[in-house]
Amino acid sequence: MNTPLTPLDLVRRGLNVYPERTAVIQPGGPSFTYRQWGERLYRLARAVQATVAPGAHVAVLSPNTHAGLLTYSAVPWAGHVLVPLNTRLMPEEYAFQLRHAEVKLLLVDQSLHDRVREVAAEQGIPVWVMGEGPAGADFEARLAGQDGSPLPLAVSDEDATITINFTSGTTSSPKGVMLTHRNTLLNAIETLFYFKADQDSVYLHTLPDFHANGWGGVWSPFGVGATHVTLPAVKAEAAYDAIEAHGVTHLCAAPTVLSMLTDPACARTLGRPVRVATAGSPPHARTIADMNALGFHVTQVYGLTETSPLITVAELSAEQEALPTATRAPIIARQGFEMLLAGEVEVLDTARRPVPHDGQTLGEIMVRGNLVMKGYYRNPDATARALDGGWFHTGDVAVTHPDGRIEIRDRNKDVIISGGENISSVEIEGVLYAHPAVREAVVVAMPDEKWGEVPCAFLALHAGQQVTPQELDTHVRAHLAGFKAPKRYEFRDDLPKTASGKFQKFVLRAGLWAGRERAVN
């Protein structure tokens, strides 16, 4: 009687139990009941089945639209692997990811088609364009040409890959994280538990769905009959309009979006409470106070794409919830406790022993349990390093407080988390080295009030060479997405190195983070 665990079972339940309830709304666009959503899901699944071989990899490049959301259920329902792509990249970055993931079909929103048109053609990948009006007519015709009756789930193995999600880590090329049906179902269930969602919930997609499958939000609300409200462009005014028009009760967002919502020029007091989960960097006490005053209830969560993604929550007791914001905010700013289904989340020393619960002794956050990824696609060496010793190594340096709460203090991997986006410092360095004037380049994170942290480049130039920060910025932006470009360029005669010639990034970071208790933001 054992059946494979899959988040698609949550979708299946929603379709069966709530057929006449509203499943998906796109402000200014169409809305669908669960019955109508199911018909579209089955039609798209059959269209994909008719186009590519079983188990093929199908990529989606879309903002948070109803069509983009549909792919997260329909593609794996058909027995294929979905490859969500970041909407903010450059063509050559898409070319690498499409090639590395061995994509056989690309579904792209009309607004992003120009970015991938040529690279998809070069790799011989068929493209289906989604969107409203004439641009999406072919996509809608493909759906209309298929049977909309229920289609049995094509999932026979819960450990099979459901999505390959690219993440920027410590190497110059992004790694494709293989998440399984089992991983993602357990994450979706714990999301429902901590988010306290039910059939009266309305979930606003303010978090990009390509970010680790919207932290499970592309599947979990369907399981309890909740309503999805898609938001293609995340702007404060549009978010508030959607909250008011559709009775939004839940949303997820990086702290930069919270700052956007609390901007006095845009902020509005809510007519009903809205639960907010935030991750990427701890929210500032001022931001929490401002959110509370407007009617938002903020909870910090923590995780990585490799952990499906959420593994800790800044859980508060009833007594702590009642504390003044100034007292409560520092508790919320800590990553907190392991989630219900996260398995073991520990701060361990180099011998993999738990550090003392003194709030001072540093160790690395390591995880082992059902939410840890299957591995990196076509990258066994990186997989072996990440899972060394039977633990997933997050690369986040933390302490454990006397009450058991985990708090990140630093990072021992070369990744910068800016506005919720992972940025590989090594990737930026590779582009800088391609400039003829650059002899040495080191990129590290520096604190930023708006984005949490941003890249800062330290450079040594070849003898007799000159280049301006503006020229370097133009060079970087010609090869990488704009959000990856360093926000500061500092020139040195030489860069600090060890006796063996390895760059001492910690020395450069120390100057940028001086006077701060934490070396992450």
The tens digit of pLDDT for each residue in 213-256 reads: 999 999 999 999 999 999 999 999 999 999 999 999 999 998 88
pLDDT at 490 over 80: yes
Helix (H, G, I), strand (E, B) or coil at 170: coil
Residue 266: inside a domain: no
Please identify, among 208, 233, 253, the residue that sits at the C-terminal boundary of a domain: 253
Lowest mean pLDDT among 30-44, 235-249, 406-420: 406-420
pLDDT in tens, 160-174: 999 999 987 545 578
Question: Starting from the edge strand earliest in sequence, which strands make up the sheet with 488-491, in order?
Answer: 438-448, 452-461, 488-491
Q: Provide the pLDDT for residue 373.
A: 98
Residue 309: inside a domain: no
pLDDT at 356 over 90: yes
Average pLDDT over residues 294-301: 94
Give residue 460's domain range. 415-512
Please identify, among 204, 233, 253, the residue that sits at the C-terminal boundary of a domain: 253
Residue 325: inside a domain: no
Rounded to an integer, what distance in angstroms lies between the CA atom of residue 422 and that of residue 407?
19
Average pLDDT over residues 371-384: 97
Q: Provide the pLDDT for residue 194.
A: 96
**CATH code of 72's domain:** 3.40.50.12780
Q: Provide the pLDDT for residue 497.
A: 82
pLDDT in tens, 422-466: 898 888 988 998 899 998 899 999 999 899 999 999 999 988 999
Residue 338: inside a domain: no
Quote the distance between the C-alpha of residue 425 and its chain's center: 18
Q: Provide the pLDDT for residue 498.
A: 67
pLDDT at 85 over 70: yes
Average pLDDT over residues 314-321: 94
Please identify, among 222, 253, 284, the residue that sits at the C-terminal boundary of a domain: 253
Q: Provide the pLDDT for residue 286.
A: 78
| Percent of residues, the chain, with pLDDT higher than 70 | 98
Q: Provide the pLDDT for residue 415.
A: 83
Q: Provide the pLDDT for residue 502.
A: 67
Q: Which residues lie below 8 Å from residue 216, measured CB to CB, with a gap of 6+?
A: 7, 184, 187, 188, 191, 308, 310
Average pLDDT over residues 356-369: 95
Q: Provide the pLDDT for residue 517.
A: 82
Q: Provide the pLDDT for residue 501.
A: 65
Q: Provide the pLDDT for residue 104.
A: 98
Q: Judge contact between 274 and 203, C-beta under 8 A.
A: no
**CATH code of 459's domain:** 3.30.300.30
pLDDT in tens, 122-174: 999 999 999 998 989 999 999 999 999 999 998 999 999 999 999 875 455 78
Q: Provide the pLDDT for residue 430.
A: 85
**Bridge partners of residue 408, in order along the sequence:** 398
Q: Provide the pLDDT for residue 411.
A: 75
* 3-class DSSP string for 432-500: HHCCCCEEEEEEEEEEECCCEEEEEEEEEECCCCCCCHHHHHHHHHCCCCHHHCCCEEEECCCCCECCC
Q: Judge contact between 312 and 332, C-beta under 8 A.
A: no
pLDDT in tens, 201-223: 999 999 999 999 999 999 999 99
363-368 and 344-348 beta bridge pairing: antiparallel
Residue 463: inside a domain: yes
Sign of CA dihedral 392, 209, 454, 167: positive
Better-predicted residue by pLDDT, 284 or 48: 48
Q: Judge contact between 230 and 69, C-beta under 8 A.
A: yes
Residue 376: inside a domain: no
pLDDT in tens, 67-78: 999 999 999 999
If one counts the domains in the chain, the total is 2
Which residue has tokens 């070849």?
Answer: 462
Residue 220: inside a domain: yes
Residue 205: inside a domain: yes
pLDDT at 521 over 90: no
